[in-house]
Structure 1
Amino acid sequence: MFTSLLPDIGIPSMLLMLVAALSVYWLWSKSRRPYLKYNIPPYPVPPKFIFGHTPMLKDGIRDKFKEWQEQVGDIFSLDIGGRHSIVVNGYSNIKEILVKQADKIPDIPHTFRNDIIKERNKGIIGASGDNWKEQRTVSLAILRSFGLGKNVLAEKIQEEVAVYIKQLKESKGQPVDVKILTNISISNVICAIIIGKRFEHDDARFVRFMELLNNTVRLASKIALIDLFPFLYYIPGDLFHAKRWANSILETNEMFSKVYVKEGMASFNENEEATNFIAAYLQELKKKRDSGESTLMDENNLVAIIRNLFIAGTETTSTTILWGILYMLHNPEVQEKVYQEIVSNVGTERPPNMHDKQKLTYLSAVIQETQRLASLVPIAIRRVVCVPFEMNGYTFPKGSIILPNLDSVLHDKKVWGDPENFRPERFLDKSGNLLHPDEIIPFSIGRRVCLGEALAMMELFLFLSSMLQRFKFVPVDSHKLPSLKAIIGITSMPNNFNVRFIERE
């Protein structure tokens, strides 16, 4: 009987019926909220049909999360496109989640974006389970062998600092936007580690590589809807920027990462000491394969790791430097105090080095205050609950997404007193010694703490100390300082601004 109806209905009508049926099923699946049967943390406001709280976040998560925290407390639930998320605020709660409950939330949630670029569970940032453990362990061991946090790496950084200072000097006190220059300089430090060489700033291939990296970071937060509603990716055009984002990553892999991995494999010699990250990874891979040891290491993971290290190592450090410059424009008395400390303890005849760090405590306090106030990564890497647990009287159901709100720690009035003010003195005791409060966690905490924290701290100290020793940062218009309002995406970035670097006499 059903078969006899097919000719009358027709193929186009059947397709429309199928689409309609699938749409109804999709709407039903998104509107179901099975986690409501548990004693979950409260909603700040009721979720909307299908989209949940997603539309309420369109104006930015920083202010909205702060408002909701004040409204319902440190731990609250959200419905993001039909999936249960739990926002965790406050240092003690975040530490409980990321450290004490780490075994129950070891993985990150799967995202459609990783399927688009064919990197599901690859690299470090996008990996989970045994693969994440092995790739992170191997990568960290290699970075340490190349001097992560040691003087041998500091020398490579200082070489790049010298080029950076020369470029600033050539501006001759004219207004400049140093965002691209800073990105390139920090990225060159990563290049020295990963492929064993740096690039000239006008190298066409390197300039294109930097453009692609910037696209990847800039567009990452704009494609969040694709992860929630994957069918949007297949709509003609590129309304949600997902295709451009994916193409930027794929081109990065093809024109840079895969090229140097292929070169590394061609010149590989297991008897020679590895001189860069790629060679060291390939040596470890061969060693494990030859010994018959089970391993998840492979060339695809290596390609993803290279991009992970560039994005994480370039964007966060260079943006922190930009915030440092901006805060100095707004706080000229702090800038002058740092300069006087450098003059008194280092002089002006040579650039500062890592041996000088313990003497430049006020500069170190300025760096920590820059990291705190900028709160560069407002939300730490998301986790997915693999084993349900109870905390603070609430149930954290299996499958829920954890959003650790680092903003709530770095801007906590109970901890800092006046978190909205730039005040480096909060990190110094009465004797001028540097303090390291537990709540200063710009790199997050727990198992997925930033892999390059030691490298980033070295870069921040060596770049900013040399810049403040050689130049006075002057606003283009002293009556109209650049805005301190952040652009919130994956990271918290300042708006583009110009600054004059006046050479010190």
Structure 2
Amino acid sequence: MDSTSVFLTLVILLVSVYVTWVYLSNRGLPPSPAVSLPVVGHLLAMNPKDPRSQMQKWREKLGDIFSSIEKKQWQIIFRNPFSLRLGPTVVIVLNGYDVIKEAFVKRGDDFSDRPFSYFDWAGDCHGLGIIMSSGPNWKQQRSVSLSILRDMGMGRNVLAGTIQEEVAQYLTRLSELDETQDVRLLTNISVANVICSVLVGQRFDYDDPTFKRVIELINYNLSAAAGVGPTLLSMYPILHYLPGDIFNTDIILKNIKEIGELFVHYFKDLKGRKEYSETNMDSFIANYVFEKNKQDKSGQATYLDEKNLAKVIEDLLVAGVETTSTTINWFLLYIQHYPQVQKKIFVEINTEIGTERTPTMQDRSKLKYLNAAIMETQRIGNITPMGLPHMCSRDTSFRGFRIPKGANIIGNMTSIFFDKTIWGEDVDTFRPERFIDEMGNLRHLEEFIPFSLGRRACLGEALAKMELFLYLSSMCQRFQCLAPNPDAPPKITDVMGVTRKPGPFQVKVVDRRL
């Protein structure tokens, strides 16, 4: 047999083995929307710049396969999950509220773990903290953290006062700016001060170079950490040891280290050691150390330690900065396109509480239209379109499909927030009225889940709701936020990363008092 024949025989053998492996490994999984390639799976078929549209197209493609089936059956199939492969990892994408609720709430034991995180692993904090940890460690970190946050006033008036003080600083700074500005970073910094008041017991000046640097590093990492390079490294962490920085991730790791040096470890040592006193519990850090010491003294087995504390500080800081400030920035962008919404908000504020005093949480029930506008911003802003990935903890089945242990589980929030059967045909339109019923009261729809649901729902939901109301009610009471050019509002663009942020835009801030 000549060399050509040997080569062809090997190729045919390898292809046969691969096809057989693909068939056997995919048997019983949800349907796949594209051909899975060796090594990379579906990675090259994905659109990292617009995953929302990509997932919607794949849903439609899979739905078309069953378009000849009667409508009722087709809708059931259309809402079933589909599967992808990212390298060796099976990814199950869940679509529709009923499916996602079933997985994350009713089947929480199966689908509440977190998958491997390359940056946590490379940063020597894999499995630590709250966001990306699993199992007993996650349960204790979340439970203790939630208890501390509640004791410190999350969801109560004591913390509302802290937020109002920060809002006053924010409004003052807005009034001092030129009328037309890009205020996204300022908003990030201001909202970050709220969580910092809880974490370390103090706020920072908006021009503090160190604090500003920390926020800029967080913003960069959140924008860059969901790219193709990080995805490949999460699929095949052994690639981390290749020479050079071919995946352009060294800067993210350096940023994480710098955030640790400038903020996380600095304040962990300051508030947890140097200034620590059981008579001064004004920071989350001090409360965590107090709880750790208490459990150590009692001889209880505990996961509370300094490594976990550092990661919890980082998790709460990043989460506390990102979601609320991004929602506020989306609000500022959308009301430039819908000035009638802003007008209705101000009329409501002026009618219900006037302009002589600052809005408080006691006013929340009065400002129904403002609440509806906030909710509509969360819906259409869709800042976590794919949520954070869950992981299947054991071999199981779901809606008739096989789900292997270790599969990543994605809850496609876009499939809920842009479902026309829930929100109406105009899902791409900013319309707060969809959250108001015929009697003028707020509609509290079960499908409205901007903070996700189940065991992995956002830890800081109560804090975020307070922040959004107090920031936006006070801002709309004092300022008109207008398009710099009324005839051409800034384009609605997004920047996809770990979250979906609005692209660069300017807003004209006009003080109503002048």
What's the TM-score, normalizing by structure 1? 0.91
Q: Is the 8 A contact 2:112 2:456 kept in 1?
A: no
Please list every run of 5 or more consecutive structure 1 residues that lacks an aligned counterpart in the other structure. 1-24
Aligned length in residues: 478
Which residue matches 1:178?
183
Q: 1:202-281 counterparts in 2 under 5 A?
A: 202-222=207-227, 223-267=230-274, 271-281=278-288
Q: Aligned equivalents of 1:273 and 1:210: distance in 2?
A: 27
Deviations 1:97-118 (A, max 9, x none): 0011111123111223221100
Detail structure 1 runs of 4+ shifted over 6 Å in the superposition. Answer: 28-31
Work out which of the residue numbers 196, 201, 216 in structure 1 matches 2:201: 196
Pair 1:88 & 2:94 matched: yes
Letter of the aligned partner of 2:46 in structure 1?
Answer: L
Q: Is the 8 A contact 1:226 1:242 kept in 2?
A: no
Work out which of the residue numbers 468, 475, 478 in structure 2 matches 1:470: 478
Q: Is the 8 A contact 1:487 1:495 kept in 2?
A: yes
Which residue matches 1:395?
402
Q: 1:59-98 counterparts in 2 under 5 A?
A: 59-72=49-62, 73-74=78-79, 75-98=81-104
What's the TM-score, normalizing by structure 2? 0.90
Work out which of the residue numbers 121, 126, 131 in structure 1 matches 2:132: 126
Work out which of the residue numbers 476, 488, 497 in structure 1 matches 2:496: 488
Q: Is the 8 A contact 1:378 1:406 kept in 2?
A: yes
Q: Aligned equivalents of 1:104 and 1:364: distance in 2?
A: 35
Which residue matches 2:175?
169
Work out which of the residue numbers 48, 57, 61 in structure 1 matches 2:46: 57
Q: Aligned equivalents of 2:274 and 2:417: distance in 1?
A: 47
Which residue matches 2:146?
140
Which residue matches 2:4?
none
Q: Is the 8 A contact 2:278 2:290 kept in 1?
A: no
1:493 shift after superposition: 0.8
Q: Is the 8 A contact 2:270 2:276 kept in 1?
A: no
Deviations 1:435-478 (A, max 9, x none): 11011111100001000111111111111111111111111122
Which residue matches 2:469?
461
Q: Aligned equivalents of 1:204 and 1:239: distance in 2?
A: 31
1:349 shift after superposition: 0.9
Q: 1:394-433 counterparts in 2 under 5 A?
A: 394-417=401-424, 418-433=426-441
Q: 1:201 to 1:225 in 2, by over 3 A?
A: same
Letter of the aligned partner of 2:51 in structure 1?
Answer: I
Q: Aligned equivalents of 1:460 and 1:420: distance in 2?
A: 22
Q: Aligned equivalents of 2:113 and 2:417: distance in 1?
A: 24
The farther-off stretch of 90-99 and 465-474 is 465-474
SS in 2 for 1:359: coil
Letter of the aligned partner of 1:461 in structure 2?
Answer: F
1:81 shift after superposition: 1.6
1:479 shift after superposition: 2.5
Q: 1:195 to 1:34 in 2, by over 3 A?
A: farther
Q: Is the 8 A contact 1:30 1:50 kept in 2?
A: no
Work out which of the residue numbers 96, 117, 121 in structure 1 matches 2:123: 117
1:33 shift after superposition: 4.3
Letter of the aligned partner of 1:171 in structure 2?
Answer: L
Q: What RMSD over aligned residues (CA atoms) do the two structures have, in Å? A: 1.9
Which residue matches 1:504?
512
Q: Is the 8 A contact 1:193 1:277 kept in 2?
A: yes
Which residue matches 1:44?
33
The farther-off stretch of 218-227 and 328-337 is 218-227
1:365 shift after superposition: 0.3
SS in 2 for 1:45: coil
SS in 1 for 2:119: helix
Q: Aligned equivalents of 1:115 and 1:30: distance in 2?
A: 33
SS in 2 for 1:409: helix
Q: 1:470 to 1:140 in 2, by over 3 A?
A: same
The farther-off stretch of 447-456 and 199-208 is 199-208
Q: Aligned equivalents of 1:52 and 1:31: distance in 2?
A: 15
Q: Is the 8 A contact 1:365 1:427 kept in 2?
A: yes
1:270 shift after superposition: 5.6
Q: Aligned equivalents of 1:311 and 1:465: distance in 2?
A: 24
Deviations 1:43-86 (A, max 9, x none): 11221232111111135311110011112133111111232111
Which residue matches 2:10?
none
Letter of the aligned partner of 2:50 in structure 1?
Answer: G
Q: Is the 8 A contact 1:32 1:82 kept in 2?
A: no
Letter of the aligned partner of 1:329 in structure 2?
Answer: Q
SS in 2 for 1:221: coil
1:31 shift after superposition: 11
Deviations 1:383-421 (A, max 9, x none): 221222222221112221111111111111111112111
Q: Aligned equivalents of 1:171 and 1:253: distance in 2?
A: 31
Q: Percent same amino acid at aligned positions?
A: 42
Q: 1:355 to 1:31 in 2, by over 3 A?
A: farther
Please list every run of 5 or more consecutive structure 2 residues that lacks an aligned counterpart in the other structure. 1-13, 63-77
Q: Is the 8 A contact 1:30 1:81 kept in 2?
A: no
1:382 shift after superposition: 1.2
Q: Aligned equivalents of 1:401 and 1:218: distance in 2?
A: 21
Q: Aligned equivalents of 2:23 and 2:476: distance in 1?
A: 56
1:233 shift after superposition: 3.2
